[in-house]
Amino acid sequence: MPEITVTEHLLAAQMEWSPKATGQFTSLLHDLIVSAKIISRNVKQAGLVDILGGTGEVNVQGERVQKLDEFANKTLVYRMRTCGAVCALGSEELEEPLIIPPEESSGSYIIYFDPLDGSSNIDVNVSIGTIFSIYRRREDATEPFRAERMLRPCDTQVAAGYFLYGPSTMMVYTTGHGVNGFTLDPSIGEFLLSHPNMQIAPRGAIYSVNASYDRFWDEATRECVDSFCHPAGGQPYSLRYVGSLVADFHRTLLYGGIFMYPADTRKPDGKLRLMYEAAPMAFLAEQAGGKATDGVHRILDKTPLSIHERTPLIIGSSEDVDHVADIYRRHGRG
Ligand code: AHM
Ligand code: MG
**Residue 27 in this model has a pLDDT that exceeds 80:** yes
Q: For position 85, what pLDDT does the model report?
A: 94
Residue 310's beta-bridge partner residues?
273
pLDDT band, very low/low/confident/very high, at 62 (cuts 50, 70, 90):
very low
Q: Which of 130, 245, 276 to mutate to test the pocket of ligand 1 (most atoms within 8 A of CB)?
A: 245
Distance, CA 139 to ligand 1 centroid (Å)?
Answer: 35
Please check the confidence at residue 40 and state whether its pLDDT lies above 80: yes
Closest alpha carbon to 129 in 92, 164, 160: 164
What angle, rounded to 10 degrees, do the helices at 219-229 and 318-330 form?
A: 140
pLDDT beyond 90 at 296: yes
φ, ψ for residue 112 (rounded to 5)? Answer: -110, 140
Do residues 190 and 264 touch, judged by C-beta distance below 8 A? no
Task: Name the band, by pLDDT with cuts 50, 70 and 90, for residue 315.
Answer: very high
**Ranges 49-53, 116-120, 159-163, most confident:** 159-163
Atom in ligand 1 nearest the alpha carbon of residue 116: 4
Please report the atom of ligand 1 found closest to the CA of residue 241.
Answer: 19
Note the pTM of the prediction, 2 decimals.
Answer: 0.94
- Angle, vertex CA 281, rays to CA 74 and CA 149, nearest 5: 65
- C-alpha neighbours within 13 Å on the C-beta side of residue 268: 0
53 confidence band (pLDDT: 50, 70, 90): low
Q: Which of the residue ranges 12-21, 37-46, 95-104, 220-229 would you say has the lowest mean pLDDT?
A: 12-21
Nearest residue (by CA) to ligand 1, atom 17, is 243
Question: Residue 261 and residue 254: Cα distance in Å, rounded?
Answer: 19
Taking only the tens place, the pLDDT of each residue in 162-215 is: 999 999 999 999 999 999 999 999 999 999 999 999 999 999 999 999 999 999
Q: Which residue has the least CA distance to atom 11 on ligand 1?
A: 245
What are 64-121's pLDDT values in tens digits? 446 899 999 999 999 999 999 999 999 999 999 999 988 887 799 999 999 999 988 9
What integer is the mean pLDDT of 265-288? 98
Alpha-carbon gap, residue 277 to 213, rounded angstroms: 20
Question: Residue 51's pLDDT is what?
Answer: 61
Q: Tell me what pLDDT residue 196 has.
A: 97
Residue whose CA is at the smallest distance from ligand 1 atom 12: 243
Q: Among 120, 241, 273, 313, which residue has the most ligand 1 atoms within 8 Å of its CB, making it the best to mutate?
A: 120
pLDDT confidence of residue 253: 98
Contact yes or no for 248/242 (Cβ under 8 A): yes
What pLDDT score was predicted for residue 65?
44
Residue 60 confidence (pLDDT): 45
> In this structure, how many other beta carbons lie within 10 angstroms of the beta carbon of residue 80?
25
Q: Residue 12 Cα, ligand 1 centroid: separation in angstroms?
A: 35
pLDDT at 48: 76
CA 214 to ligand 2 centroid distance, Å? 21
In this structure, the residues whose C-beta lies within 6 A of any atom of ligand 1 are: 92, 114, 117-119, 210, 243-245, 248, 261, 271
Distance (angstroms) between ligand 1 centre and the Cα of 223 equals 23
Which residues in 271-308 are b (16+ Cβ under 10 Å) and which e? bbbbbbbbbbbbbbbbbbebbbbbbeebbbebebeebe
Residue 272 CA to ligand 2 centre (angstroms): 7
Residue 136: predicted pLDDT: 94
From CA 62, how far away is CA 146, in angstroms rounded?
Answer: 41
User: Would you say residue 59 has pLDDT above 60?
Assistant: no
What residue's CA is closest to ligand 1, atom 2? 117
What does the DSSP 8-state code read for residue 5? B
Residue 49 reports pLDDT greater than 90: no
CA distance readout (Å), 8 to 5, 25, 76, 153, 222: 5, 14, 22, 30, 46
Give start and end residues of each alpha helix (H) in the chain: 6-17, 24-44, 68-82, 219-229, 245-255, 279-287, 318-330
Ligand 1 atom 4, closest CA = 118
How far is the centre of ligand 1, averaged over its atoms, from the C-alpha of 331 (Å)? 27
Q: With a cut of 70, say whether residue 279 has pLDDT above it.
A: yes
CA of 273 to the centre of ligand 1 (A): 10
Percent of the chain with pLDDT over 70: 93
In the chain, what percentage of residues exceed pLDDT 90?
Answer: 80
Instruction: Answer yes or no: is pLDDT of 134 > 90.
Output: yes
Beta strands in the chain (DSSP E): 86-91, 98-99, 109-117, 128-136, 157-165, 169-174, 179-185, 190-195, 206-208, 238-239, 258-261, 291-293, 313-316
- Alpha-carbon distance of 243 to 124, in angstroms, equals 12
Q: Specify the pLDDT at position 284.
A: 98
Nearest to 32 by CA among 75, 61, 65, 66: 75
**What φ, ψ does residue 160 adopt, rounded to 5°?**
-160, 155
- Taking the C-alpha atoms of residue 201 and residue 290, their distance in angstroms, rounded to an integer, is 8
Angle between helices 6-17 and 24-44 (to 10 degrees): 160
Average pLDDT, the chain: 92
Give the SS3 label for residue 2: coil
